[in-house]
Amino acid sequence: MKLPEFGVNRPVATTMLFLGVLVLGIICLMKLGVDLTPEIEPTRVTVATVWQGASCEDVEQKVTRVLEKRLGSVANLDEIRSSTSEGRSNITCQFAWGTNIDEASNDVRSKIDAVKRNLPEDVDDPAIYKFDSASMPIMVIGVTARESIEKLYEIIDDEVFQPLQRLEGVGAVDAFGGLQRQINVTLSRERLAGYGLTLRDIESAIANENQTLPAGNLKVGIIEYTIRILGDYVDPEQIKEIPLMQKDGAIVRLKDIAQITDSFKEITQYVETMGRDGMIMIVQKRSGANTVEVCEAVRTELSRLEAVIPRDIEFFIVNDSSTFITQSIDNVKGTVYWGGLFVILVSFFFLRNIRTSLIIVVTIPFSLIIAFCFMYFMGWTINMISLSALAIAIGMVVDNAIVVLENITSHVNRGVRVREASMFAASEVGLSLLASTATTICVFLPLVFVEGASGIMFRQLGGLVTATLLASLGCALTLTPMMSSILLKSIPRSKREIEEAGKKQSWSRKFYMRTEGYFLSFERAYGNLLSFCLSHRGTVVILSALVIAAAMLTIPFVGTEFTPDQDTGEMNIRFQLPVSTRAELTAHTARKIVDTVYQKEKELVANSKGQISPDEFGQPRDSALRFTNWRAGRSSGGWGGRGSHIGQVNIKLLPL
């Protein structure tokens, strides 16, 4: 093969080539995103329909079932699910993997257009949403205030929303809770009847007065002015003076039949964080943005905003997706580091030579660096699957280099010069290395062609192991011979060389000679075991068959699941009361749940006898709860409850 000859004859070119790969790999590694798992985008379309004021039964009978019947005939539909609540219907269509999401949404839209005439007249037009993992919240932020509680929504809307939405990678910021300003008009039924007015008359009068109208242009000399009639309300007192009618020569104004107050919208959802009223903000990332980087940018911006907004307003990170991702990735990184360290130690233990161990160890980083380049150009991220693939491959990348080095050393011990041995010994085993690498690749490469969610998860595993093994093969046939020709030494031949070598007994040579007896004893023991197996072939075959049968019998007792359970320390409690229960009672139930949690937490802390470990930041603590947050009632946003009877409690737990 020509690769070993190229590596040995052109050491400078080989060194520069691998250094270039090293620099490119480091750049690619710095640009790689970090995520928990590969991005999975199922083909899912949701149809949301709102029917204000309708009961759950009416929505189910006249909206949900009508749409379900029509959507059931959409092509490539795998599963259809629906949920109905007060005034709202949600139908989710799950399509087969590989279905084009745009074509699926167009098919759903055409079916809905054909069935619209069968829906009640006052039903809003059904809205179609294509599922995107970016639409899932990556961070939930609780906001509380003391003195500024009445102006909290206005402050957050003006001072917080816009800066957060301008951050790179942030797709949207949604919020619910808080008091929103509203001018309330409370009508007197008796006065309405006395003047012969209706609610429609009042509504039309308010709408007609609250508008700014264009009034044409005015030309004066060389200047042309645009004229407008300003009619938008700027003060609640203006609303009181709205004329409604003229009776007996007197003008009847709105203040004559109604009471106008500058107040707040009716509270339909209650939110509390750490026992205080407040708001909840939902942060979503843009499609393709890195979750960890976006969350870090949001946390930094919140720290800056705390100096701008009133001091009594506090932010609590209720849910941060990047925390669990970072912890999980760090754990797997630690496994990879320890695996690499033990590979190095094992290589040195068996080779017992610094130079030969260095030749083997160098193949590890170069093989992994090439894998990082492959990940970057494939558009993959550093996640649990990719790091697991590297952890598997890190023990395989040294195999080819060990085979090449062993053959080179064997030729050198037979008297061949190091330079010639490095070229010809590597060429001798080149075809064997290619065959052995190909057999291993044949195990992992088919994972690239698996379809569905499993294919998305394991495509990176198969692709990365394949790329890493090919990189290790290239290193073994070029880098290993080149380094061997430089670092290995020829055995002494003349009497003078033998005498000088005998005088220079380095510590590594002494270690080699002292441990050589143990390795020879191990070889003899293995030879005896091999002789016994060859002499008792039937017994060995029977024992092997029994072991395989015993292993097969344990398969039914091994559980199966898509992904292992994950303990993030977060507990979410979603509860429902009887339909049409008032939001106030739902909020009272949420408070009782939180009180029960705090009571149980005090009992656990008391039983721990004060032996509570510090938190992840090293700070002392006396509680097992990081925060509590709950929300109850109906919300206009997509992440709130969809009925006054629905509530949710979020609790962040800390280990005792």
Domain boundaries, given as residue ranges, for the chain: 2-31+353-491, 44-131, 136-180+272-324, 182-264, 497-568, 570-653
Place of tokens 């080699």: 512
Taking alpha carbons only, the member of 181, 129, 137, 133 closest to residue 155 is 181
For residue 132, the tally of other CB atoms under 10 A from its CB is 14
Write out pLDDT tens, residues 344-373. 788 777 777 777 788 888 888 888 888 889
Residue 547 has a pLDDT of: 93
Contact 205/183 with Cβ under 8 angstroms? no
Helix and strand numbers (H, E) in the chain are: 22, 18
Write out pLDDT tens, residues 256-290. 888 888 888 877 788 888 777 888 888 888 766 77
- Encoding tokens for residue 456? 């998305």
Quick one: 625 exposed, middle or buried, by C-beta within 10 A (0-12, 13-18, 19+)? middle
Residue 549 has a pLDDT of: 93
CA distance 214 to 230: 9
Residue 498 has a pLDDT of: 46
Taking alpha carbons only, the member of 225, 371, 404, 294 closest to residue 35 is 294
The residues pairing with 261 across neighbouring beta strands, listed in sequence order, are 184
pTM for this structure? 0.69
Write out pLDDT tens, residues 411-466. 887 778 888 888 888 888 888 888 988 998 898 888 888 877 777 778 888 889 99
In CATH terms, the fold of domain 136-180+272-324 is: Alpha-Beta Plaits (3.30.70)
Architecture of the domain delimited by 182-264: 2-Layer Sandwich (3.30)
The residues pairing with 262 across neighbouring beta strands, listed in sequence order, are 183
User: Rounded to whole angstroms, what are the CA distances from 407 to 79, 414, 483, 517?
Assistant: 59, 11, 14, 22
Sequence-distant contacts of 534-543: CB under 8 A, at least 24 apart: none
Classify domain 44-131 by CATH number. 3.30.70.1430
Write out pLDDT tens, residues 19-33. 888 899 889 888 887
Q: What is the DSSP letter of 34?
A: B
Q: Which pLDDT band holds residue 623 (cuts at 50, 70, 90)? A: confident
292 Cβ neighbours under 8 A, 6+ residues apart: 33, 34, 35, 322, 325, 326
Place of tokens 């009978």: 61
Please report which helix (H) or strand (E) contains residue 276, including its range: strand 276-285
Give the lowest-confidence range in 553-562, 612-621, 642-651: 612-621
Q: Which pLDDT band holds residue 309 (cuts at 50, 70, 90)? A: confident
Do 44-131 and 136-180+272-324 have matching folds? yes
CA distance 252 to 243: 6
Q: What angle do CA 44, 49, 50 make, to 5 degrees?
A: 145
Please report which helix (H) or strand (E) contains residue 579, including its range: none
Residue 53 has a pLDDT of: 76
Candidate ranges 96-105, 291-300, 317-326; pick with highest mean pLDDT: 291-300
CA distance 313 to 549: 66
CA distance 280 to 649: 12
- Encoding tokens for residue 332? 């797997």
634 Cβ neighbours under 8 A, 6+ residues apart: 86, 268, 269, 583, 640, 641, 642, 643, 644, 646
- Encoding tokens for residue 584? 């106030």
Candidate ranges 203-212, 306-315, 555-564; pick with highest mean pLDDT: 306-315
pLDDT above 70: percentage of residues in the chain: 90
Q: What is the DSSP letter of 382?
A: B
Question: What is the pLDDT of the chain when averaged over all its residues?
Answer: 81
Q: What CATH class is the domain 2-31+353-491?
A: mainly alpha
- Which regions of 51-204 does DSSP assign to beta strands (E)? 77-85, 88-95, 127-130, 137-144, 170-177, 181-187
